[in-house]
Amino acid sequence: MSKKVLVTGGCGFIGRQVAEELLDNGYSVVVLDSLVEQVHGEARAATQQKVEYRFGDVRDPQAVRAALSGVDMVVHLAAEVGVGQSMYEISRYVGANDLGTAVLLECLIDRPVERIVVASSMSVYGEGLYRSKDGARFDAARRRKEQVQAGQWEPLHADGRPISPVATDEEKPVDLASIYALTKYAQERAVLIFGEAYPVEAVALRLFNVFGPGQALSNPYTGVLANFASRLANGERPLVFEDGNQKRDFVHVRDVARAFRLALEQKRADGQVINIGSGNAYSIRQVAEIVAEAMEAPELEPEILGKARAGDIRNCFADISKARELLGFRPQYRLEDTVGEFARWVRDVGAVDNAAKMRRQLEERGLVS
């Protein structure tokens, strides 16, 4: 008899792919989703065959208890996502992410499962890992506001020495630079603490920048590739904060879905925090140019704003050694090889460009400098 998995937030971008991955590998799937308008629009989410759907809020104990009926495992994805928006819709993010996780865990006391895997985020690191010229590890980089306002984008060592970004491993201490990061760390820790106290195995996956067909193109607070593609599809230049040379790791949603399945299956993952990324670093300017080429609009060069958003960090890309070791995780979809598929999907579905609205909302609140 197949295992039954509850996927909270299972109608979302990542959730749909996780559900498909699980179905393809012999699992039964239940989805709990509240269909947040910012992500799904006014239309009801498209459903997948063989998935059992329950529409409700993860903060509603009655809805959660009903969704847990007969479930063997849980993938917890339900969350509000977006660094910039979290800095002014604070109660919304804390409520959905942290209270929602608390309600789920309380329900699991009476309806325990074998394992829960929670989606955490690379944002909990703040700045990624750096090394100085002599090779010394430096994991406490942080930019001061006045430094950023002066256009000094790259962090420096505490003594003023230059430092260079390197792949960030799970040993790097967290440094919470946004409300979103705070809520994701609270989700992660709550699930792992719960796993230590109760007979429920627990795993936290720290996701880096996830991309692929199915992203919410009208939501400007999540998914830089989606933001760029939405601008380009509407004949507008991609908006790039700072100087565009900040580096990120972009991991395909199908790789992420496989990582969640592996995290349900691999016994050695119990109690662990694990990075899920591609292991590659890309500058944001480079990504804007790659997407423009794929969208057949290379003349729409990125608009470099020379301003920073509150809560943004400079560099963070993944060391995925632990994922390889504990999960057997190997990324299969590189950004360069799959952006064409992504661009075709954007052209097919169309996109509403809300990037200018997002910029205005942040500037009105003094969150861009």
Alpha carbon distance 16, 96 (integer Å): 19
Q: Which amino acid is at 206?
A: R
Q: 62: how many CB neighbours lie within 10 A of its CB?
A: 10
Number of residues written out for the chain? 369
Residues with Cβ < 8 Å from 329, sequence gap 6 or more?
Answer: 255, 258, 259, 262, 276, 320, 323
Q: Annotated catalytic, 180?
A: yes
Beta bridge partners of 120: 206
Annotate 306-318 with DSSP letters as a single string. Answer: ---BTT--SEE-B
Q: Which amino acid is at 149?
A: Q
Catalytic residue (choose from 180, 185, 221, 282): 180
Q: Copy the structure tokens of residue 196.
A: 């230590």
Which residues in the chain belong to E strands, given as ranges?
4-8, 28-33, 51-55, 73-76, 115-121, 130-132, 137-138, 163-165, 201-207, 209-211, 239-240, 247-248, 250-252, 273-276, 282-283, 303-304, 315-316
Contact between 263 and 5 (Cβ < 8 Å): no
- The string over 311-336, giving b where at least 16 C-beta atoms fall within 10 Å of a residue's C-beta and e elsewhere, is bbbbbbbbbbebbeebbebebebebe
Catalytic center residues:
180
